[in-house]
C-alpha cells in the first residue's frame, strides 16, 4: 500500500491518501511535467528566492532544524552559482545555445528520489535541483520527515512571483511513502524512473539499486559516508580555540549527528593545547548548545550505545569520558588509532596525533567531509590534497560541515539530472 | 555490619516478604559497601564508579549506583577477587555479538547463586525434589563445563530441584529432534506425578511442541510446572504471544495454564531469576532489585513507563554484578501490591532494544551491524 502525502500540489497530511499502486498517480505528475517544462527556469529560481524569504518569516517553518541554512541555500545567488557550476549557463535550460552545434539541457523526465530519514530537509535539496532542470519528481520520504516537508512545501505552494506560484510547480511533484519491505511499490517506483536518486545507508542503497529499472535510467547515489575533524597545533594553541570549539559543537549537534557530514572523531595535533583541556572546553560548548536545543528524538538503541561507550571509556585505564548524568552529549578521549564506529546523538571521540598527516592512513573512500581547523595553510593544502586523493569529497572549515553545496559527494548533482541534447543546423 | 552474614541472611530467608521501603533499607548499605570494596580492589572499577557516579557513602538509593552495562563483561575481565580465588570462569554463549561474556566466579559467589536460585524457585514451585524433563539435548550442558549458554543455565538451575533429569531432545546436523522413546519412558515412569519441565521457550515452541503434536502424543502431567525462558523476539515475529504459548503448552501437557511459567534472567546475574507470578508479573527477590531506567535521563521510570532493565544483586563477590544494566526493555507495574501477595517491585519484560530503522547517509555503522 502506498501512502500519498502530496500529489500534484495537493496535500494529504496528516491523514494521507492510500493508493494500491503507483501507476494511477503518474498521469497527474506527467501533466505537471509539461507545465514545468514550459516554465522559464529563471522564474523558478526567482520563486525559490521568494520561498527562501518566506520560510524564515513564516511561523510554521521558523523552528525547523536546518531552516536557516535551507533559506540561505535557496537564495538566487547561491542557486545561480550551482547552476553555473553544473551547466555553465542557465540559458541551456530554456533553449538551444550555440551556433551550428546547439546544446540544450533537457530534463531526463521523472526523477524518483529515495530520501533518508536522518536529515528532514534533505528531500528539498534533492527536489529543487531536479525541479530547476525541469524534471517531474516522486519522492519516497520516511514518515518522520513528512511533517517537516509538508510544512515547508505548503509555504512554497503559497509563494508567488510574477504570477507563478509554488502550487503550479508542485503539480509535477508527488510525495509518497511505503514500507521498505514493500517490494511491489519499490519496483513500481524504480520502473517509473528516468533517473533514480538514492540517499541512504548501505542497506537501503543496495536494495534500491538492485531493483529493476529502465535501460536509460540514470542512477545518482548518495550512499553512507563518514566525517571527522582535524585540529592542528596552531589552531588549538590559538586564542580562537573557544570559537572553533563552539562551531565544532554545532557541527556535532546538528541532525543528531546522523548526517553523512556529521563528525564522529576529532584528531588533535600535539603541541598546542592538550587534548584533555580541549575535551573539557568542547564539553562546555556542547553543554551550552544542548540546553538551547534539547534532544528531540530519543532512540533507546542509540542511548544504549551511549551507555556502553561511556562505560567502556570509564573502565579503560587509557581512556576518559566527560558527560552529564543524562545521555545527552558525551566527549570521549582514547588512544586507539584511527576512526571510531559512529555512536551518534552528540557523542564525539577525541584523539591526540603527532601530526594531522598521521590521520591520512585511516582515510578511506567512506570519508566524505573533513572539518579542518588548520591555521598553517601550507599544511592544510598538503593535507587536503592527500585526503581528497584518497576519496574525501570535502575539506571545509569547522562549523561548515553541514553546508550542502555543489559538488556533493564529488558529484555535480544537477548535471546528472539532465540530458544534453544537440541541434545542428547551419546557414 | 557483618557484610557477609547480612548477604547470606538475605539470600537464605523466605523470599518476596520484604516491603519495598524495608528492602531498599536492607539492600542499599550492603550494595554500597560492596561497591566500595569493588573499587578498593580494582583501580579500573574505582575509575568507573567515580567517573560515572558519586561516592558510595553518598548513595541515597540503589538507583544511585552507576550500573555496568552487560556488554562490558564481553570487553573487560571484570574481577573483584584475587585470581587464586576464582574457581570458575563462565563464558556466556555469544549468540548476538559473537563475543562471550566472561564472568569470574569464586566459591562464595557460586554458593550464593545456588542458594538464591533455590530460594526463588521454592517460592514459585515448592521445595520438593521431583523428576525433571529438560526440553533440550544433553549436549547443551556438556563439553566445556565453563561455557554456559542461556539455554544451559535455565536447565542447570532447575535441575537443582531434580531427583532425575531426562533430556528429551537429540541433536543431529544442528537440528533438534524429539527422542520419542525417552519421552514415552518418562511418561510411563512418572505419569500423573509432580514433575518439572524446563527449556528454552523458542525450542519448546518450534521443535518440541510441533513434534509432539505431529506424533499425536498425549502427555498427561496435570501436576507439572514448566519453567521456560528466551527466544521471545523470534516468537513474536511469528505472532506467538505469551498467552498463546501458555495455552498451547498447558493443553499439550494436560495441565492448567498457570503451570506454564516464563522467567527472565541472564548469565551475568546467575542466582537471580524473575518468574511470572499468577498475575503475570515478574518479581525481584529480597536479595536483588530491578530498576527500570529512562534511557535518556537514566533516572528510574515511574510505573507503566518503559525503560532499560537493570538488575542489582548482592550475590556476587567475585565480579562487579551489584548493578548491571541490560539492553532489554521493561516496565514496573507496581510495588508491594501484586495480587499474588509477593512484596517489592514487580515488572513486565517488553523486548530487546531494537534500532528503529536505518537512519540514512550517515549510517556507516550499518555495515558492521548486519549480524546483530
CATH of the domain at B125: 3.40.50
Q: How many beta-carbon contacts under 8 Å exist across A and B? A: 145
Is the predicted pLDDT of residue B358 greater than 60, yes or no? no
From chain A, pick out residues whose CB is under 8 angstroms from the CB of B360. Answer: 116-119, 122, 199-201, 204, 258-260
Tens digits of per-residue pLDDT, B212-221? 999 888 899 9
In the predicted model, residues of chain A with pLDDT beneath 70 are 427
Residue B212 sits in the same domain as residue B293: no
- Calculate the average pLDDT of chain B: 89
pLDDT at B150: 66
Tell me whether residues A258 and B366 touch, CB distance under 8 A: no
Residue B10 sits in the same domain as residue B152: no
Residue B28 sits in the same domain as residue B145: no
Contacts of A197 (CB under 8 A, 6+ apart): A111, A112, A113, A114, A126, A130, A220, A222
Residue B231 sits in the same domain as residue B286: no
Of A117, A227, A316, the CB nearest to B360: A117
Closest CA–CA distance from residue B85 to any residue of chain A (Å)? 22
Q: What cell was used for A33?
A: 511535467
Cβ neighbour number for residue A346 with a 10 Å cutoff: 24
Closest CA–CA distance from residue A28 to any residue of chain B (Å)? 29
Give the total residue count for chain A: 427
Cβ neighbour number for residue B98 with a 10 Å cutoff: 9
Q: What angle do CA B256, B262, B263 make, to 5 degrees?
A: 145
Contacts of A380 (CB under 8 A, 6+ apart): A232, A372, A374, A395
The residues spanned by each domain of chain A are: 2-223+409-424, 226-397
- Domain membership of residue B189 (yes or no) is yes
Check which CATH number belongs to the domain holding B27 and give it. Answer: 2.30.38.10
Residue of B nearest to A329 (CA): B296
**C-beta separation of A220 from A196 below 8 A:** yes
Closest CA–CA distance from residue A399 to any residue of chain B (Å)? 18
Q: DSSP per residue over A207-234, as a string?
A: HHHTS---TT-EEEEE---EEEEEE-HH
Average pLDDT over residues B61-85: 96
**C-beta separation of B317 from B298 below 8 A:** no
Residue B303 sits in the same domain as residue B227: no
pLDDT at B368: 39
Residue B183 sits in the same domain as residue B241: yes
Interatomic CA distance for residues A342 and A354, integer angstroms: 23
Nearest to B256 by CA among B223, B305, B234: B223
Closest CA–CA distance from residue B366 to any residue of chain A (Å)? 7
B46 touches chain A (CB under 8 A): no
Q: What cell was used for B61?
A: 538509593
Closest CA–CA distance from residue A310 to any residue of chain B (Å)? 8
Query: Which of A224, A260, A302 is the mutation pick for testing B, counting most B CBs within 10 A?
Result: A224
- Domain membership of residue B359 (yes or no) is no
> Is CATH 3.40.309.10 what the domain over A226-397 is classified as, yes or no?
yes
A301 touches chain B (CB under 8 A): yes
**C-beta separation of A247 from A396 below 8 A:** no
Rg (CA), chain B: 21
Residue B123 sits in the same domain as residue B252: yes
Residue B199 sits in the same domain as residue B144: yes
Cell 508527488 identifies what position? Answer: A174
Q: Which of B263, B294, B321 is the last residue of a domain?
A: B263
Closest CA–CA distance from residue B227 to any residue of chain A (Å)? 29
pLDDT at B237: 80
How many independent structural domains does chain B possess? 2
- Domain membership of residue B188 (yes or no) is yes
Of A222, A227, A327, the CB nearest to B296: A327
Interatomic CA distance for residues A329 and A37, integer angstroms: 48
Tens digits of per-residue pLDDT, B111-160? 999 899 989 999 998 888 899 999 999 887 775 656 666 677 778 777 77
- Domain membership of residue B87 (yes or no) is no
Residue of B nearest to A119 (CA): B360
> Is CATH 3.40.605.10 what the domain over A2-223+409-424 is classified as, yes or no?
yes
**C-beta separation of A262 from A340 below 8 A:** no
- Domain membership of residue B104 (yes or no) is no
Is the predicted pLDDT of residue B254 greater than 60, yes or no? yes
Domain that holds residue B320: 3-74+277-352
- Domain membership of residue B90 (yes or no) is no
pLDDT at B369: 34
pLDDT at B232: 77
Of B69, B71, B361, the CB nearest to A225: B361
- Domain membership of residue B372 (yes or no) is no
Tell me whether residues B361 and A199 touch, CB distance under 8 A: yes
Interatomic CA distance for residues A81 and A87, integer angstroms: 10
From chain B, pick out residues whose CB is under 8 angstroms from the CB of A325. Answer: 297-298
Is the predicted pLDDT of residue B55 greater than 70, yes or no? yes
Residue B253 phi, psi (nearest 5) = -95, 0
Sign of the dihedral through C-alpha A39, A33, A7, A148 = negative
Q: Which of B237, B263, B289 is the last residue of a domain?
A: B263
ipTM, interface predicted TM-score of the complex: 0.91
Q: What cell was used for B168?
A: 528429551
Tell me whether residues A295 and B296 touch, CB distance under 8 A: yes
Residue B249 sits in the same domain as residue B135: yes
**C-beta separation of A372 from A355 below 8 A:** no
Residue B317 sits in the same domain as residue B251: no
Residue B227 sits in the same domain as residue B302: no
* Range in A410-424, B156-170, B352-366 with the lowest mean pLDDT: B352-366
Interatomic CA distance for residues B245 and B248, integer angstroms: 5
From chain A, pick out residues whose CB is under 8 angstroms from the CB of B78. Answer: 315
Q: How confident is the model at residue B234 (pLDDT cuts 50, 70, 90)?
A: confident
Is the preceding omega at residue B180 within 30 degrees of 0, hence cis?
Answer: no
Give the total residue count for chain B: 372
Indicate the pairing of strand A136-140 with strand A110-114. parallel
Give whole-number Cα distances, A352 to A230, A323, A356, A374, in Å: 10, 19, 9, 15
B233 touches chain A (CB under 8 A): no
Three-class SS state of B15: coil
Q: DSSP per residue over A10-65, as a string?
A: EE--SSPEEES-SGGGHHHHHHHHHHHHHS-HHHHHHHHHHHHHHHTT-TTTTTST
Nearest to B68 by CA among B42, B30, B89, B94: B42
Interatomic CA distance for residues B248 and B210, integer angstroms: 10
How far is the first Cα of chain A from the last one, in angstroms, to the nearest whole number? 57
- Domain membership of residue B33 (yes or no) is yes
Contacts of B82 (CB under 8 A, 6+ apart): none
Q: What cell was used for B105?
A: 566466579
Amino acid at each position: 500500500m502506498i501512502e500519498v502525502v502530496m500529489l500534484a500540489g495537493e496535500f494529504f497530511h496528516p491523514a494521507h491518501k492510500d493508493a494500491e499502486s503507483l501507476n494511477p498517480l503518474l498521469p497527474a505528475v506527467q501533466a505537471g511535467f509539461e507545465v514545468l517544462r514550459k516554465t522559464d527556469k529563471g522564474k523558478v529560481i526567482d520563486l525559490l528566492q521568494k520561498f527562501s524569504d518566506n520560510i524564515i518569516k513564516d511561523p510554521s517553518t521558523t523552528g525547523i532544524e536546518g531552516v536557516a541554512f535551507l533559506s540561505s541555500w535557496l537564495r538566487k545567488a547561491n542557486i545561480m552559482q550551482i547552476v553555473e557550476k553544473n551547466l555553465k549557463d542557465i540559458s541551456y535550460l530554456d533553449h538551444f545555445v550555440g551556433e551550428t552545434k546547439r546544446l540544450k539541457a533537457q530534463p531526463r523526465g521523472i526523477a524518483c528520489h529515495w530520501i533518508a530519514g536522518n536529515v528532514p530537509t534533505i528531500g528539498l535539496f534533492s527536489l529543487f535541483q531536479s525541479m530547476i532542470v525541469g524534471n517531474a519528481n516522486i519522492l519516497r520520504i520516511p514518515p518522520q520527515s513528512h511533517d517537516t516537508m509538508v510544512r515547508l512545501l505548503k509555504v512554497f505552494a503559497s509563494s508567488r512571483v510574477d504570477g507563478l506560484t509554488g502550487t503550479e510547480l508542485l503539480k509535477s511533484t508527488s510525495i509518497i511513502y511505503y514500507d521498505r519491505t514493500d517490494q511491489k511499490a519499490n519496483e513500481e517506483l524504480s520502473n517509473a524512473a528516468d533517473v533514480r536518486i538514492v540517499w541512504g545507508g548501505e542497506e537501503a542503497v543496495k536494495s534500491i539499486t538492485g531493483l529493476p529499472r529502465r535501460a536509460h535510467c540514470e542512477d545518482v547515489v548518495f550512499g553512507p559516508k563518514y566525517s571527522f575533524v582535524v585540529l592542528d597545533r596552531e589552531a588549538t594553541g590559538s586564542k580562537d580555540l573557544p570559537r572553533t570549539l563552539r562551531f565544532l559543537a554545532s557541527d556535532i549537534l546538528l541532525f543528531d549527528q546522523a548526517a553523512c557530514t556529521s563528525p564522529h572523531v576529532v584528531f588533535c595535533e600535539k603541541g598546542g593545547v592538550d587534548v584533555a583541556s580541549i575535551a573539557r572546553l568542547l564539553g562546555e560548548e556542547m553543554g551550552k548548545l544542548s540546553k538551547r536545543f534539547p534532544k528531540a528524538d530519543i532512540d533507546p538503541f542509540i542511548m544504549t550505545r551511549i551507555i556502553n561507550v561511556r562505560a567502556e571509556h570509564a573502565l579503560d585505564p587509557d581512556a576518559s569520558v566527560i558527560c552529564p548524568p543524562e545521555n545527552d552529549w558525551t566527549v570521549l578521549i582514547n588512544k586507539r588509532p584511527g576512526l571510531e564506529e559512529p555512536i551518534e546523538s552528540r557523542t564525539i571521540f577525541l584523539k591526540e596525533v603527532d601530526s594531522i598527516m598521521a590521520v591520512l592512513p585511516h582515510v578511506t573512500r567512506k570519508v566524505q567531509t573533513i572539518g579542518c581547523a588548520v591555521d598553517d595553510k601550507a599544511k592544510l593544502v598538503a593535507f587536503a590534497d592527500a585526503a581528497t586523493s584518497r576519496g574525501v569529497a570535502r575539506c571545509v572549515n569547522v562549523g561548515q560541515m553541514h553546508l550542502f553545496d555543489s559538488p556533493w559527494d564529488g558529484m555535480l548533482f544537477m548535471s546528472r539530472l539532465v540530458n544534453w541534447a544537440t541541434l545542428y543546423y547551419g546557414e | 555490619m557483618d557484610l557477609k552474614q547480612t548477604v547470606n541472611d538475605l539470600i537464605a530467608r523466605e523470599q518476596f516478604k520484604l516491603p519495598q521501603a524495608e528492602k531498599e533499607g536492607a539492600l542499599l548499605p550492603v550494595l554500597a559497601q560492596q561497591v566500595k570494596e569493588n573499587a578498593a580492589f580494582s583501580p579500573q572499577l574505582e575509575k568507573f564508579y567515580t567517573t560515572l557516579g558519586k561516592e558510595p557513602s553518598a548513595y541515597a538509593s540503589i538507583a544511585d549506583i552507576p550500573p555496568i552495562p552487560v556488554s562490558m563483561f564481553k570487553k573487560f575481565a571484570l574481577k573483584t577477587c584475587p585470581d587464586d580465588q576464582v574457581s570458575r570462569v563462565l563464558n556466556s554463549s555469544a549468540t548476538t555479538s559473537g563475543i562471550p561474556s566472561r564472568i569470574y566466579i569464586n566459591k562464595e559467589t557460586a554458593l550464593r547463586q545456588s542458594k538464591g536460585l533455590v530460594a526463588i524457585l521454592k517460592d514459585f514451585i515448592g521445595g520438593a525434589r521431583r523428576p525433571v524433563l529438560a526440553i533440550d539435548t544433553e549436549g547443551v550442558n556438556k563439553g566445556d563445563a565453563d561455557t554456559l549458554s542461556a539455554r544451559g543455565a535455565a536447565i542447570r538451575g532447575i535441575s537443582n530441584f531434580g531427583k532425575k533429569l531426562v533430556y528429551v531432545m537429540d541433536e543431529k546436523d544442528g537440528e533438534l529432534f524429539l527422542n520419542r522413546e525417552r519421552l514415552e519412558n518418562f511418561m510411563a515412569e512418572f505419569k500423573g506425578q509432580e514433575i518439572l519441565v524446563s527449556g528454552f521457550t523458542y525450542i519448546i515452541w518450534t521443535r518440541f511442541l510441533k513434534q509432539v503434536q505431529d506424533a499425536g502424543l498425549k502427555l498427561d502431567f496435570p501436576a507439572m510446572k514448566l519453567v521456560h525462558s528466551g527466544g521471545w523476539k523470534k516468537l513474536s515475529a511469528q505472532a506467538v504471544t505469551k498467552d498463546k504459548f501458555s495455552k498451547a503448552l498447558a493443553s499439550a501437557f494436560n495441565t492448567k495454564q498457570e503451570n506454564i511459567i516464563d522467567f527472565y534472567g541472564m548469565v551475568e546475574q546467575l542466582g537471580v531469576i524473575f518468574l511470572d507470578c499468577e498475575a503475570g508479573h515478574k518479581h525481584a527477590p529480597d536479595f536483588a532489585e530491578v530498576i527500570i531506567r529512562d534511557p535518556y535521563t537514566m533516572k528510574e521510570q515511574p510505573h507503566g513507563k518503559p525503560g532499560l532493565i537493570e538488575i542489582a544483586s548482592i550475590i556476587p563477590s567475585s565480579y562487579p554484578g551489584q548493578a548491571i544494566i541490560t539492553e532489554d526493555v521493561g516496565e514496573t507495574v507496581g510495588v508491594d501490591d501484586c495480587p499474588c501477595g509477593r512484596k517489592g517491585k514487580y515488572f513486565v519484560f517488553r523486548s530487546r532494544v531494537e534500532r528503529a530503522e536505518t537512519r540514512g547517509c550517515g549510517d556507516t555503522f550499518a555495515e558492521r551491524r548486519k549480524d546483530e
